[in-house]
């Protein structure tokens, strides 16, 4: 129980919850679309069972992601993907993209739709959550992941629309989320075995594994996402204006 009292644990939990909120918007839309034809009495059950199944599947995927991140160079790849995801958050997207979600009037068919759709859409969540869990240290990463996801369930189920409205009203929330992913990407990259282990991959430049280097990499990742994302957003706006 002592690990639940450390600041690193609660910081990582907060990061996981924020990641789920920011990257769970599409998932909330999928849940609504898949369950919209259910009878009112079944709608809540469909949302709850579909979300529970999707979360359980995500825990399994993250377990493998945590194991894979111990392989040299995979953290570097994961960090690059997180930067890309963070930049995407800052670039306005066109409406739509969920028209192919099948709505069923049968409870378990709707639940199956939610779980399958979440599996396809959860790669970004899995990478980001695995990266956040890495910051809590070894030994209790999976308990941290499970705890963070369990805490996020009611937020995803009942708070998604509120959070979406909050993001619409205060765009800085989205900017902060993108920078958070950049921070996680930076701290993940410098801890990759290829750059951290001085006894292996000697042709790869090594970085000292100090808190200063970790924080500097996190800040650099956050600023990279901010600068690149703002540039991409301006470019997309200019393209829409000339279209």
Query: Splitting the chain (243 residues) into consecutive groups of 10 residues, what average pLDDT does each group show?
Result: 65 77 62 69 75 77 75 84 83 55 63 68 69 65 72 63 65 82 87 84 85 92 93 83 70
CA distances from residue 2 to 14, 87, 141 in whole angstroms, order as listed: 18, 36, 14
pLDDT at 96: 47
pLDDT at 14: 79
Ordered by start, the domain boundaries in the chain are 8-230
21 CB-near residues (< 8 Å, 6+ apart): 152, 155, 156, 159, 160, 163, 177
Q: Cβ distance 171 to 155 under 8 Å? A: no
Query: Which of 65, 222, 203, 32 has the alpha carbon at shortest distance from 131?
Result: 65
pLDDT at 106: 72
pLDDT at 158: 64
pLDDT at 164: 54
9 CB-near residues (< 8 Å, 6+ apart): 3, 136, 140, 144
Which letter does DSSP use for residue 4 in this model? G
């Amino acid at each position: 129980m002592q690990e639940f009292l450390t600041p690193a644990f609660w910081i990582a939990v907060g990061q996981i919850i924020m990641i789920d909120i920011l990257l769970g918007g599409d998932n909330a839309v999928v849940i609504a679309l898949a369950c919209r034809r259910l009878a009112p009495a079944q709608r809540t059950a469909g949302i709850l069972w579909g979300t529970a199944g999707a979360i359980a599947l995500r825990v399994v995927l993250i377990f493998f992601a945590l194991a894979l991140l111990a392989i040299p160079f995979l953290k570097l790849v994961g960090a690059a993907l997180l930067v890309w995801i963070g930049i995407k958050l800052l670039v306005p997207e066109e409406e739509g993209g969920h028209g192919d979600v099948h709505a069923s009037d049968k409870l378990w068919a709707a639940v199956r739709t939610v779980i399958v759709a979440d599996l396809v859409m959860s790669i970004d969540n899995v990478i980001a959550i695995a990266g956040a869990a890495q910051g809590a240290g070894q030994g209790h990463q999976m308990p941290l992941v499970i705890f963070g996801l369990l805490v996020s369930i009611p937020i995803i189920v009942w708070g998604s629309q509120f959070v979406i409205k909050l993001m619409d009203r205060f765009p800085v929330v989205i900017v902060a989320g993108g920078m958070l992913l950049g921070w996680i990407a930076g701290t993940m990259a410098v801890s990759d075995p290829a750059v951290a282990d001085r006894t292996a991959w000697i042709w790869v430049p090594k970085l000292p594994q100090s808190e200063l280097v970790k924080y500097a990499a996190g800040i650099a990742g956050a600023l990279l996402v901010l600068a690149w994302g703002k540039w991409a957003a301006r470019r997309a706006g200019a393209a829409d204006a000339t279209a």
